[in-house]
Chain A
Amino acid sequence: MNFNATLIGQTITFIVFVWFCMKFIWPPIMHALEARRKKIADGLAASERGKHEQELAEERATEILREAKDKAGEIITRAEKRGGEIIDEAKVDARDEGERLLTSARAEIDQEINRAKEDLRGQVVSIALAGAGKVLEREVDQSAHDELLTKLAAEI
């Protein structure tokens, strides 16, 4: 164990190496590490933000869904009401129409009855006239007895 100039050589080498390490090795590596740390932190923050935004979006979606449901319910209620109204109107219309038809049918029936009565009356008159002619054995003058016949027809 003898000391010699190796001591000085090693000291100088040491100083040079530390200087080199300090200048060219440590700063770039630390810089890269720092940058990566920052990048990861940013990424985490971004994901956090994304999660938050998603939560907000979900909330908003729920809100919109609820609104839509409310609106749909309202629309259905209104539609049901309107439907009821339409049905009522239709009922009224139908009743009116029915009544109208009934009335006109009745009128027509009356007319028919009257016409039939008239016919029957005419025919009864002719039959009566024919019968009377047969009874009297002579022609009954239609024109001569028209007044009488009309009176008779009216009585039938």
Chain B
Amino acid sequence: MAAEPLTSSSYIKHHLTNLTYGKFPEGHEHAGHWGFAHSAQDAQAMGFWAINVDSMLFSIGLGMLFLWLFRKVAKTATVDVPGGWQNFVEWIVEFIDTSVRGSFSAKNDMVAPLALTLFIWIFLMNLMDLIAVDHIPWLASLLGVSHLKIVSTTDPNITFGLALPVFFLVLYYSVKIKGLGGFLGELAFHPFPKWMAPVNLLLEGVTLIARPLSHSLRLFGNMYAGEMIFILIALMYGGGIALGAFGGLLQLGWAIFHILIITLQAFIFMTLTIVYLDMAHQETH
């Protein structure tokens, strides 16, 4: 914020704060009003019924971009020699289809589109990480937007928003395929014999709960750390020409390395989704 003195920690904090819209809490100067949080503390104080506008906008925008790009091909998909973009899309679709066929043994028409959506969407959201950290927030600040995080996947709300539906799908299909008894039995009668059911239940329960947590936190953690390093590198630009040039080199190196990470994280998220759903469809453990 313009009013604050620009220190390293305020710079970092600023970059890690979402643009949050919510109701100001009691005790605040704007108490009772709806508006954008001015700081991380404000955002925290707004409680659950606030929304990270930047995360949502970039998430929805990139998701729409994905749907639009792929829908264009889906509408005009020809059997004859495919054009450039169609070829690319078909390559991705084929790749996802192969992945799903490889890990998912049951029959479910939802899994492949789900995997495709997750992979491309997460990839696009991660891709925003490669845009230099200050560019878009600076443009936004010209428009009077105080905070802007352009990488939606560095917001745990987004990653949990992806992992939780997957988790509920896993629960739904587990119960649907195995029956409630079968599902509970699977939780209670493994890995030890039946008389140790409570211990089994505890172990399997933890495993079950750990899945969506690790699923979403893995993506969040990787992207958050990557973003953090970009921010730290960006700090070096303020340290004179020599340090700035070194920072430029570092940024280039990290960005190139990050291309691998963003793809890999998108792929891991997708693969885990497929694997979890496959486990939900397996009759026997």
Chain A positions within 8 Å of B, measured between CB atoms, are 1-11, 13-15, 17-18, 20-22, 24-33, 35-36, 39
> 15 A-B Cβ contacts within 8 A?
A3-B157, A5-B51, A6-B52, A10-B157, A11-B165, A13-B161, A17-B67, A18-B113, A21-B116, A22-B113, A26-B112, A29-B89, A32-B78, A32-B79, A35-B79
Interface majority SS (helix, strand, loop, mixed), chain A: helix
Residues of A within 8 Å of B18, CB to CB, are 6
Closest A-chain residue to B158, C-beta based?
Answer: A10
Closest B-chain residue to A8, C-beta based?
Answer: B161
A-contacting residues, B109-136, CB 8 Å: 109-110, 112-114, 116-117, 121
- CB of B90 within 8 A of chain A? yes
- CB of B250 within 8 A of chain A? no
Q: Determine the distance from Cα of A31 to Cα of B78 in the docked complex, in whole angstroms.
A: 10
Answer whether A10 and B43 are a contact pair too, CB < 8 Å, given A1-B156, A5-B51: no
Q: How far is the CB of B148 from chain A (nearest CB, A)?
A: 14
Q: How far is the CB of B248 from chain A (nearest CB, A)?
A: 30
3 shortest A-B CB distances, which residue pairs?
A: A10-B161, A32-B77, A6-B157
Residues of A within 8 Å of B56, CB to CB, are 6, 9-10, 13
Residues of B within 8 Å of A22, CB to CB, are 109-110, 113-114
Tell whether, in the assembled complex, residue B70 and residue A11 are in contact, meaning their CB atoms are under 8 Å apart: no
Tell whether, in the assembled complex, residue A18 and residue B161 are in contact, meaning their CB atoms are under 8 Å apart: no
Q: Give the contacting residue for A30; candidates B52, B93, B114; CB below 8 A.
A: B93
- CB of B227 within 8 A of chain A? no
Q: Determine the distance from Cα of A31 to Cα of B46 in the docked complex, in whole angstroms.
A: 48
Answer whether A26 and B116 are a contact pair too, CB < 8 Å, given A2-B43, A21-B70, A33-B94: yes
Q: Determine the distance from Cα of A2 to Cα of B52 in the docked complex, in whole angstroms.
A: 10
Q: Determine the distance from Cα of A24 to Cα of B52 in the docked complex, in whole angstroms.
A: 29
A-contacting residues, B69-104, CB 8 Å: 70-71, 73-75, 77-80, 82, 89-90, 93-94, 97
Tell whether, in the assembled complex, residue A6 and residue B165 are in contact, meaning their CB atoms are under 8 Å apart: no
Residues of B within 8 Å of A18, CB to CB, are 110, 113-114, 117
Q: Give the contacting residue for A4; candidates B73, B90, B157; CB below 8 A.
A: B157
- CB of B49 within 8 A of chain A? yes
Q: Determine the distance from Cα of A7 to Cα of B155 in the docked complex, in whole angstroms.
A: 10
Q: Give the contacting residue for A25; candidates B46, B74, B109, B121; CB below 8 A.
A: B74
Tell whether, in the assembled complex, residue B70 and residue A29 are in contact, meaning their CB atoms are under 8 Å apart: yes
Q: Determine the distance from Cα of A8 to Cα of B22 in the docked complex, in whole angstroms.
A: 14
- CB of B182 within 8 A of chain A? no
Tell whether, in the assembled complex, residue A24 and residue B48 are in contact, meaning their CB atoms are under 8 Å apart: no
Q: How far is the CB of A19 from chain B (nearest CB, A)?
A: 9
Interface string of B22-34 (1 = CB under 8 A from A): 1000000000000
- CB of B162 within 8 A of chain A? yes
Q: How far is the CB of B275 from chain A (nearest CB, A)?
A: 17
- CB of B50 within 8 A of chain A? yes
Q: Determine the distance from Cα of A2 to Cα of B44 in the docked complex, in whole angstroms.
A: 6
Q: How far is the CB of A98 from chain B (nearest CB, A)?
A: 87
Answer whether A28 and B74 are a contact pair too, CB < 8 Å, given A4-B22, A13-B63, A21-B116: yes
Q: How far is the CB of A104 from chain B (nearest CB, A)?
A: 94
Q: Determine the distance from Cα of A24 to Cα of B78 in the docked complex, in whole angstroms.
A: 15
Closest B-chain residue to A20, C-beta based?
Answer: B67
Q: Give the contacting residue for A7; candidates B43, B75, B160; CB below 8 A.
A: B160
Residues of B within 8 Å of A27, CB to CB, are 74
A-contacting residues, B142-163, CB 8 Å: 155-158, 160-162
